Chain A
Amino acid sequence: GENVEQHPSTLSVQEGDSAVIKCTYSDSASNYFPWYKQELGKRPQLIIDIRSNVGEKKDQRIAVTLNKTAKHFSLHITETQPEDSAVYFCAASISRGSTLGRLYFGRGTQLTVWP
C-alpha cells in the first residue's frame, strides 16, 4: 500500500515567519493530497488540498505544491500567527478500484508559533 512520510515532526517559528512542512509518498498512482489541521483533542480539519493535475494551489496564507516526478508535496504557511499552532497532517489518496478514497496519513507535524 501507500506510504506517506512527513517532516519535520516538530516545527517552532516566530510569529510572522513562514513555515514549511514536507511530505513524500510512495505510490505514483496517488492523485489526491489533502492537508489537515488538528487542534488538541479535536477533529482533523481540511485546510487545503491538491490534485495530481495541478502543481500549486494557494488559499490566502496557505499554499501547497506538488512534484509528481519526485513524489513529494509541501505545505507553506506565510505570516504565521499563534492560532496556526496545531498538528498538521498530510495525506495521500489513491482513487482507483476498491481503495477509492481511503486516506494514508503522515505522522504529523506539531507547529508552534511563538508571539
Chain B
Amino acid sequence: DSGVTQTPKHLITATGQRVTLRCSPRSGDLSVYWYQQSLDQGLQFLIQYYNGEERAKGNILERFSAQQFPDLHSELNLSSLELGDSALYFCASNPPDRTDTQYFGPGTRLTVL
C-alpha cells in the first residue's frame, strides 16, 4: 500500500457523460500527479498540482480538467466522454524532501460504453 488513495475503483459510463475521479495523496505530500494508462498510449502524464496550484501540464485534453483542494486531495474531471477515454487513471504523490520519487495510487478503471 503506497498511502495514496483513489476513488472509485471502477467506473462505467456512456459516451457524452461526465465523471469525477478523486485522489488523496500520502499524508504530508503536497504534490499530486495524474497519469492515464491505455493500451495504445502507454503511461502518459496529464497534469501536476503542488499545494493547490497547477504546476505542469502534459497531454491533457481540453475536455479534461483538474484541481487540488486546500486539504490537498485532487479531482480529475472528464467530460464529453468518448470511447477512447477508456483507460486506467492513476494519481501519484511525492514527499516534499524527495520531489522526484513518485508513489502511485491503486488507480481508477474507466470504461466508456
Contacts and interface: CB of A to CB of B under 8 A. Distances in A.
Contacts of B35: 103
Nearest to A44: B104
Interface residues of B, number: 25
A101 B94 contact: yes
A108 B55 CA distance: 27
Contact of B48 (A34, A44, A89, A101): A101
Interface stretch (A14-22, A59-67, A77-85, A92-100): A92-100
A102 B104 contact: no
Contact of B90 (A32, A44, A98): A44
Contacts, number: 66
Contacts of B58: 102
A46 B103 contact: yes
Contacts of A95: 99-100
A108 B40 CA distance: 12
Interface in A21-76: 31-32, 34, 36, 41-46, 49, 51
B106 A42 contact: yes
Contact of A43 (B2, B99, B101): B2
A46 B101 contact: yes
A99 B56 contact: yes
A46 B42 CA distance: 17
Contact of B100 (A45, A98, A101): A101
Contacts of A32: 100-101
A101 B105 contact: no
Contacts of A104: 45
Interface in B45-92: 45, 48, 55-56, 58, 88, 90
A108 B88 CA distance: 15
B98 to A, nearest CB: 10
B43 interface: yes
Interface of A: 31-32, 34, 36, 41-46, 49, 51, 89, 93, 95, 98-108
Interface of B: 2, 31, 33, 35, 42-45, 48, 55-56, 58, 88, 90, 94, 99-107, 109
